[in-house]
Structure 1
Amino acid sequence: MSNYLTHGRIVGGVVTTPDLDAALADYHERLGLELVDHGPLTADLAASWGCPRSAGAKMATLQPKSGAHCFIRLVEAPLPADFHPTRTYGWAAYELTVQEVFGWPGRLQGSGFDVVGPPKALEGLPYFIPMQVLGRGREMIYLNEVAENTPTSDLPKANSLTDHIFIVILATPNRDATVQWYEHLLQLDVGSSYTLAYSMINNAFGLPKDHRSTITMVQKGRLPIVEVDDYPESATVRSGPEGTLPAANALVTLAVNDLDALPLEYIEAPVHRSGPVYGGRRAATVRGPAGELLELLEIGR
């Protein structure tokens, strides 16, 4: 473990995909992430995530070339026929800090990534230039080039062409209650809120282009972590076979100082785990207020 890991830091995200080999080529050859582990999802890890029926699925673990302790784990799973990105509660997107964002549409041509939002500056948010892509599992990935820090948070500039996940986006039916859950139960801080015309939400729900949504940042000090988005009432719970990982952006892992100090009901008791993500540390998973799977990696003991 490195000094990169502090309370609240994003350790990684799990993505489900219908074709692991093809997705691995996309993430390794196109995004430039390094393959650091490969093998089936073990039964005990799947059970700890509350997804025992996902046990045995093919899985690959990737890390940015910068060496940041942040991983994307690809897990092979069928894509539900009724799944539509950005229309259900739970993890909606992972935001990666990257270099040269305006060159990314060309780099991704012919891959399994579909550009759904070309690079552009956002109204009222001059701090980074984002673009959005969908992968083979209809997972949403933001590729953001950081321009400057915000008044209330520090944004990381990429140390490799594609670097670590620095914000995860959570879709919720009750933004205020969700923010309070992360503040009080995970010992995080409430950051700034913004109201803006959010094209990803508006396009997904067929709303007018000028429809405005409110988002709130949850952070630790000046470290941004979770962007909590208000979703329209027509959003639904993410469906899928019982006992399996959710579709697309399936699970997020955060670092915490002490699992025992958090007033949470874990799916299974914390256990020590090996491998690149865990490094022998304890981990446990909880379901958040929007139904999201949140794995917590203990770093302070």
Structure 2
Amino acid sequence: MSSYLTHGRIMGGVVATPDLQAALRDYHQRLGFRLVETTVVPDELASSWGIAGLAGKPMAVLQPTSGAHCFLRLVEQPLPPQFVPTTTFGWASYEITVQDVFGWPAKLEGSGFDIIGPPKEIPGLPYFVAMQVHGRGKEMLYFNETRSNTPSTDLPFAQSPMDHIFIVILATPDREATVAWYRDRLGLDVGDSYTIAYSMINNAFGLPADTMSSLTMVQKGRLPIVEIDDYPPQTRHRVADAGCLPPGNALVTVAVDNLDDLDLAWIAPPQSLAGPLYGGRRSATVHGVAGELLELVEIGR
């Protein structure tokens, strides 16, 4: 394990995709992630996630060429036709630190990524420039070029053209309860809250452009981790097909010091797992307030 890992650090995200080989062309060849392995979901991992039917499904593991200990896992499964991104509770997006965000649209031409928010500088927010895309599984990714740290957080400067996930965005039916859960159950810190005209939410629901939404950052010290967003009343719970992960942005993996210190209802008892992400460390998975799948990997023992 790398010294990069500290309590609260994002170790990876899982994307459910309908065509693994096509997704690999997007993530490996276009985005430039290093292909670590192609495999199938092992029985013990499917059990840990509480989805026995997932065992044996094709999976690929990727890592940024920077070497950051943060892995994207692509799992092949059907895409439910009723799934619409940014309209359901759960993981809404993975935010990845990148270099030269204005150069990425041209690199993605002809790929499986749809650009839904081109790069743009936002007045009053000089800290970063971001763009947004949907992948083949209707997952959402933010590509974020850091310009400077914010007053309350340290934002990572990419060490490769496409580097690691550093913030995950969570859509929740109860922002205050969700913030309290991450604070009290995981020992994280509550950061700043904002009320903004959130274009991704407004566009997804067909709301007026000036409709306001509130969000709160959850962090560890100055390390940003989870952006927790209020969503409008018409938001639905994300439905997974039998034996499948939630569609789109399916699961987030976070490092913790000690699983035994956490008062959480595990889907299955903690177990040691092999592979490049786990390295034999113990891991266990829980459902959060919004129904999100959160996998925790122990780094302190």
Shorter-chain TM range is over 0.9
2:3 paired residue number: 3
Residue 283 in structure 1 maps to residue 283 in structure 2 = yes
Relative to 1, partners in 2 of residues 1:242 and 1:122: Cα closer, same or farther, differing over 3 Å?
farther
Q: What is the CA distance between 1:242 and its match in structure 2?
A: 3.1
Describe how 1:1-301 pairs up with structure 2 within 5 A: 1-301=1-301
Q: What is the CA distance between 1:123 and its match in structure 2?
A: 4.9
Determine if contact 1:123/1:196 at 8 Å carries over to the other structure.
Answer: no
**How many residues are matched?**
301
Q: Distance in 2 between matches of 1:119 and 1:204?
A: 18
- Structure 1, 15-24 or 36-45: larger mean CA deviation: 36-45
Partner SS, residue 163 of structure 2: strand
Partner SS, residue 183 of structure 1: helix
Determine if contact 1:11/1:254 at 8 Å carries over to the other structure.
Answer: yes
Partner SS, residue 28 of structure 1: helix
- Structure 1, 48-57 or 238-247: larger mean CA deviation: 238-247
Q: Distance in 1 between matches of 2:75 and 2:294?
A: 16
Deviating 4+ runs (over 3 angstroms)? none
Q: What is the CA distance between 1:237 and its match in structure 2?
A: 0.4
**Residue type of the alignment partner of 2:199:** S
Q: What is the CA distance between 1:212 and its match in structure 2?
A: 1.3
**Residue type of the alignment partner of 1:168:** V
**Residue type of the alignment partner of 1:52:** A
Partner SS, residue 27 of structure 2: helix
Partner SS, residue 168 of structure 2: strand
Per-residue Cα deviation, 1:246-284 (whole angstroms, up to 9, x for no partner): 001000000000000000010011111111000111000
Partner SS, residue 74 of structure 2: strand
Q: Distance in 2 between matches of 1:122 and 1:248?
A: 27
Q: Distance in 2 between matches of 1:210 and 1:103?
A: 29
Per-residue Cα deviation, 1:226-254 (whole angstroms, up to 9, x for no partner): 00000001000001213421001000000
Q: Distance in 2 between matches of 1:122 and 1:189?
A: 26
Determine if contact 1:286/1:295 at 8 Å carries over to the other structure.
Answer: yes
Partner SS, residue 277 of structure 2: coil
Partner SS, residue 23 of structure 1: helix
Higher relative strand content? 2
Determine if contact 1:40/1:58 at 8 Å carries over to the other structure.
Answer: yes
Q: Distance in 1 between matches of 2:20 and 2:243?
A: 20
Determine if contact 1:137/1:248 at 8 Å carries over to the other structure.
Answer: yes
Q: Distance in 2 between matches of 1:75 and 1:186?
A: 27
Per-residue Cα deviation, 1:111-157 (whole angstroms, up to 9, x for no partner): 00000000012354321111000000000000000011010000000
**Residue type of the alignment partner of 1:292:** E
Gap runs ≥5 in structure 2: none
**Residue type of the alignment partner of 1:160:** S
